[in-house]
Amino acid sequence: MKTIFGVLCALLLMTTDIKAQKSELRRQGTATQLYVDNRPMIILGGELGNSSASCDADIERHFAKLHRMNLNTVLVPAYWDLLEPEEGQFDFSLTDKVIEQARKEDLKVVFLWFGAWKNSMSCYAPEWFKRDYKKYPRAYTRSGKPLEIASAFSDQVFQADNKAFTRWLLHIKAMDGDTGTVVMIQVENEIGMLEDARDYSAVANKAFKADVPKAFTDYLTKNKKKLHPFLADKWQKQGNKSQGTWTDLFGNDIFTDEIFMAWHYASYVERMAQSARRILNVPLYVNAAMNSRGRQPGEYPSAGPLAHLIDVWRCAAPSIDLLAPDLYDNGFKDWVKQYDLWNNPLFIPEIRLTANDAARAFYVVGHHNAIGISPFSIENANEAEASRIRAGYATLRKLTPIVARHQGTDHIWGVLFDQENKEETILTNGLRLSCSHFFTLPWDPRATDGSTWPEAGATIIHLTKDEFVIAGTGVVVSFQSDTEQQNKNKPLGEDGFAQAGGNNSNANATTWKGKRIGLAYVDEVDVDAQGQMTRIRRLNGDEDHQGRHARIGVDDFKILHVKLYEYE
């Protein structure tokens, strides 16, 4: 059987043109962009819940809803246990249904391989694999407790996982290679060790006592000045040695255990990725459960593709295109900043499903050149969540051609505001852009009645010397020259004029010098597939506060085209 399988794979690979791929990553300035059918694409996605693609009826119902929500991509699990229920017997019917339904609903697909590991555990491995723990051994804790976590040190585990993965990819290639519905593949899911920072099986202990592989020590030496601060510090404290055991190079603690384990997880994934590259040459990524809430390695999934371990993963798994964060904790801006690195483009494959996710999308594509964003359990969005995502995604879809031209330059920004962080200043080309949350204006009672402020997010693009695009929700932007005296933000009444009784005296004002910036016009626009703008309506008078600012309300998603002029 193995010989027949090998021959079949070889024949299929010989007839496979991996150059005819429909999706790829391309570099533009400081940005990495996803191209599909030779056009830039931002993934405006949603990930299905873990069990929501395990029957045809669910796939049909959910995909229809996602189409109505203006998604362009759905992230879908592929289950090893259902794909190979009996060893060597494969059932690709769910994969076929996903691809067929995605085409019907005009969606692209990112498949998630739930193979040897899902959220650390081997829960999606088939029953025949789980029962034969002698052949397919487990990881062990320090105390000798076996875990339902397949051993990353076992070649038998890898061969079983990789055989199913390879057969599945060959099937996708045969069904979808000419169409390109599948645009990315996630290899495994939230890989990592739990209960302890590393595997303590006999084979793992032997590997831990051995010297660090030369490939990694060479990488450390070559990239010494560019290493992540975490790893650079660990290595420096041990004298920047170029040879020795894991404890010789990084010390004796659980973080060294984590580095060691990350090397072996990443090495395993690299072998999977090499199989994928020979068959279906689409972008590949791995996702990480966060090291949050003060937890230590083993309390979170240790050794996964976390930001502080990026050098380990980059060295051991060079065929993986990016490390992606799954975000469920507070501190969104801080988390995404950790993953927007010189050697890692930002993609957010999972984020907690909330009505704020659409506003966050405008922020990450503008500020972090993000490839895309994908709320988790998207099919369970309530009406409020679905409505916001529907409106936000529709607007960002239209904006994509303009965003794509400017990502990777210093002419694009993203802002994100909430009740605590209400304003930000952008300086560009002699201009000062004062950006703030819509509720900093006095006109909406929700700003002061105790309501929680919805997050406000926007992409801001400097088109020409005196032209800007502002797109998103809940933002106010005013423009000054960088030499203009600053408005002290005197409190305004509900009519937009200064509050009565305020100190508005100009007795001590200095003589004005220099030019001022005015709004020639503010237009709400539509954008076509080539990025050409068409005016929907002119916003003037009350809608731009008599020429003082451009704004988008918290209940709206809009694209504004702003033209400036100078006067004195």
Please count the other Cβ atoms lying within 10 Å of the Cβ belonging to residue 494. 11
**Both 376 and 268 in a single domain?**
yes
Please list, residue by residue across 49-85, b when 16 or more beta carbons sit within 10 angstroms of its beta carbon and e when fewer do.
bbebbeeeebbeebbebbbebbbbbbbbbbbbbbbbe
Check: pTM over 0.75? Answer yes or no.
yes
**Both 420 and 535 in a single domain?**
yes
pLDDT of residue 190: 98
Residue 508 confidence (pLDDT) above 80? no
DSSP string, 110-165: EEEEESS-BTTB-TTS-HHHHH-TTTSPEEE-TT--EEEEE-TT-HHHHHHHHHHH
**Both 319 and 370 in a single domain?**
yes
pLDDT band at 498 (very low <50, low <70, confident <90, very high): low
The domain that holds 282 is classified in CATH as 3.20.20.80
CA distance 50 to 93: 17
**Both 435 and 522 in a single domain?**
yes
Residue 220 confidence (pLDDT) above 80? yes
Residue 166 confidence (pLDDT) above 80? yes
Mean pLDDT of 260-273: 98
Please count the other Cβ atoms lying within 10 Å of the Cβ belonging to residue 299. 15
pLDDT band at 94 (very low <50, low <70, confident <90, very high): very high
pLDDT tens-digit map of 274-313: 999 999 989 999 999 999 999 999 999 999 999 999 999 9
For residue 505, tell me if it sits in a domain.
no
Domain closes at, from 351, 373, 406: 406
**Both 310 and 432 in a single domain?**
no
For residue 9, tell me if it sits in a domain.
no
Residue 361 confidence (pLDDT) above 80? yes
**Both 349 and 443 in a single domain?**
no
Tally of domains in the chain: 2
Percent of the chain with pLDDT over 70: 91
The domain that holds 458 is classified in CATH as 2.60.220.20
Mean pLDDT of 335-347: 96
Mean pLDDT of the chain: 93
Task: Please indicate whether residue 489 or residue 206 has the higher confidence score (pLDDT).
Answer: 206
**Both 318 and 171 in a single domain?**
yes
**Both 314 and 426 in a single domain?**
no
Domain closes at, from 367, 383, 406: 406
**Both 397 and 452 in a single domain?**
no
**Both 397 and 426 in a single domain?**
no
For residue 179, tell me if it sits in a domain.
yes
Domain closes at, from 381, 406, 431: 406
For residue 469, tell me if it sits in a domain.
yes
pLDDT of residue 462: 98
For residue 1, tell me if it sits in a domain.
no
**Both 285 and 401 in a single domain?**
yes
For residue 230, tell me if it sits in a domain.
no
pLDDT tens-digit map of 131-158: 999 999 999 999 999 999 999 999 999 9
pLDDT band at 15 (very low <50, low <70, confident <90, very high): very low
Percent of the chain with pLDDT over 90: 90
For residue 36, tell me if it sits in a domain.
yes
Mean pLDDT of 310-321: 98
**Both 345 and 477 in a single domain?**
no
Mean pLDDT of 338-363: 97
* Residue 346 · residue 370 · CB < 8 Å: yes
Q: 3-class DSSP state for residue 489?
A: coil
Residue 43 confidence (pLDDT) above 70? yes
List own/partner pairs for 446-450 with CB under 8 A and 24 or more apart.
446/554
pLDDT of residue 484: 78
For residue 364, tell me if it sits in a domain.
yes
Q: Which domain holds residue 547?
A: 412-487+513-567
pLDDT of residue 353: 98
